[in-house]
A and B are shown apart, each in its own frame.
Chain A
């Protein structure tokens, strides 16, 4: 090691070398270590997310084509795999047009406000257990879930601003629809996950995932404690462990958690403006809604923002209900870097499965009518979510 550093030092002036050494030492102090690992994690996660976004667009086009008995984009590269890159190049070279009577500042601000919040949401999501002892969360904060809800609602401002600043009637209608839709669904979205916090007793997303590692995923909370590969080799012990996992309390808790999952999942469709709740951008009625007046990268940011929101939404659903990075019988990252990578892969596999469901539902269901959507939000999901909280409280109080 010393030989190597001596060798490298020949390439630098003494002053520069001592500066580099100082930086190297600063990186090994606890604070320095935290800073550089966090920056590295952020960069890698951002890269993965943006890559996933562009290939979600590709997947959307291919899957929709298959569902409609078509082929979809299959020309650029093998099976059209380079299509997202070609699309990005095309959008970059287009003219970035601002309408004459648009409010320039807000018109340009709006696309950024749609794209950034979903990326910020990813900052608190535990996307893996740990790798080389570094926890795979960028920020493990105690208000994680509240942060997710607060930040993800910001993107509605982007849509409303775009609708207003474009100074055009279709974006305006899209903006209005978006506002009322968000008010109807944010309530049930936030209230529906309260049972999860009541069961776990924490808002920290890491703690929620850790709970699910021990007791099983929130949508099936029966995972027996102490189950491992070894116990599978002894059938009687395994059977007893499984029976021990099924308790009356868990069976009862299952009901509110399934309801909670259902409401959250459906509200997430509304939150991300996906069909059947894509009223703000209804192509047939509003010729694109809030992004009608946008071209080039302004449009691309709205378009990719929608898919980033889908990914953020899918990762929140995964973290809260589908066990985050955990999978039965797969140990966490403390057993070696390989398992750490497997955990990350499991997390992204779950996200991709959810994204597929998002796409699948989009190409199956027609759009809700406006009053039907409001009715569903206010008369049905809101009440169900409130009742669900009390149901959970009763079960938690009276069952052991």
Chain B
């Protein structure tokens, strides 16, 4: 069914276009006058002012590794994150857990765990795929370095950024 949109007949003032220009100029003038006295400015002076406190809980910052409350590395070097990582930022070299270790029954842990932050796209797939809840995207967003080497986060750095995460994964508890 044809639907006819009724066009409004323009008045002379609207056809002339000048009153519209003048009212537009009045609006921008009002904004400028207000901003000139520092009111209504929404700019945030970045390095001095930050939005950190208002970051949402689900914010996806730099990926990090976590330990559990007993100090055990949660990562079991299954390499699922390495395989799912779209830009191939993660490189894992697994190792066997020695016999004398308390966590012998876990069998594997990473010897090297490198995340190349020049490649990372903060997609969060590693966090999603991890069966052990060992890798989490935390709230660090300004990752900088003076060389490509500095931009690679090694295992120590990842654990330092990740810290301790409590809860959930309990299947490696020796009492079970």
Chain A: residues with CB nearer than 8 A to chain B? 63, 65-71, 360-361, 363-365
- Find out whether the CB atom of B27 lies under 8 angstroms from the CB atom of A66: no
Question: What are 28 A-B contacts defined by CB distance under 8 Å?
Answer: A63-B32, A65-B35, A65-B43, A66-B31, A66-B35, A66-B36, A67-B28, A67-B31, A67-B35, A68-B31, A69-B34, A69-B35, A69-B41, A69-B42, A70-B41, A70-B43, A71-B41, A71-B43, A71-B45, A360-B28, A360-B29, A360-B32, A361-B25, A364-B21, A364-B24, A364-B28, A365-B21, A365-B24
**Most chain B CB inside 10 Å of its own CB: which residue of A66, A70, A365:** A66
**A363/B28 contact (C-beta < 8 A), A66-B35, A67-B35, A69-B35 known:** yes
Task: Report if B40 contacts A (CB, 8 A).
Answer: yes
- Find out whether the CB atom of B32 lies under 8 angstroms from the CB atom of A67: yes
CB-CB nearest 3 A-B residue pairs: A66-B35, A71-B43, A364-B28
Which A residues are in CB contact (< 8 Å) with B32?
Answer: 63, 66-67, 360
For the A-B complex with A70-B35, A360-B32, A364-B28 known, give 13 more contacts whose Cβ atoms are closer than 8 Å: A63-B32, A65-B43, A66-B32, A66-B35, A66-B36, A67-B35, A68-B31, A69-B40, A69-B42, A70-B41, A70-B43, A71-B43, A361-B25
Classify chain B: how many residues form its interface, as a range.
10 to 19
Instruction: State the CA gap A66–B43 with chains docked (Å).
Output: 10
Instruction: State the CA gap A363–B21 with chains docked (Å).
Output: 12
**Least Cβ–Cβ distance between A357 and chain B, in angstroms:** 9
Q: What secondary structure prevails in chain B residues at the interface with A? A: helix
Selected from B21, B25, B31, B45, the residue in CB contact (under 8 A) with A69 is: B31
Instruction: State the CA gap A363–B45 with chains docked (Å).
Output: 23
Which B residues are in CB contact (< 8 Å) with A66?
Answer: 31-32, 35-36
**Least Cβ–Cβ distance between B59 and chain A, in angstroms:** 25
Instruction: State the CA gap A63–B42 with chains docked (Å).
Output: 15
Which A residues are in CB contact (< 8 Å) with B29?
Answer: 360
Which A residues are in CB contact (< 8 Å) with B34?
Answer: 69
Q: Which residue of A lies closest to B45 (CB)?
A: A71
Instruction: State the CA gap A71–B35 with chains docked (Å).
Output: 8
**Least Cβ–Cβ distance between B150 and chain A, in angstroms:** 26
- Find out whether the CB atom of B42 lies under 8 angstroms from the CB atom of A364: no
**A70/B36 contact (C-beta < 8 A), A360-B29, A365-B24 known:** no
Instruction: State the CA gap A67–B41 with chains docked (Å).
Output: 10
- Find out whether the CB atom of B25 lies under 8 angstroms from the CB atom of A360: yes
**Least Cβ–Cβ distance between B163 and chain A, in angstroms:** 35
Instruction: State the CA gap A17–B40 with chains docked (Å).
Output: 67
Which B residues are in CB contact (< 8 Å) with A360?
Answer: 25, 28-29, 32
**Least Cβ–Cβ distance between B114 and chain A, in angstroms:** 35
Which B residues are in CB contact (< 8 Å) with A68?
Answer: 31
CB contact list, B83-135 vs A, under 8 A: none
Instruction: State the CA gap A90–B93 with chains docked (Å).
Output: 45
Instruction: State the CA gap A360–B27 with chains docked (Å).
Output: 11
CB contact list, B51-73 vs A, under 8 A: none
**Least Cβ–Cβ distance between A261 and chain B, in angstroms:** 14
Which A residues are in CB contact (< 8 Å) with B40?
Answer: 69
**Least Cβ–Cβ distance between B39 and chain A, in angstroms:** 9
Which B residues are in CB contact (< 8 Å) with A71?
Answer: 41, 43, 45
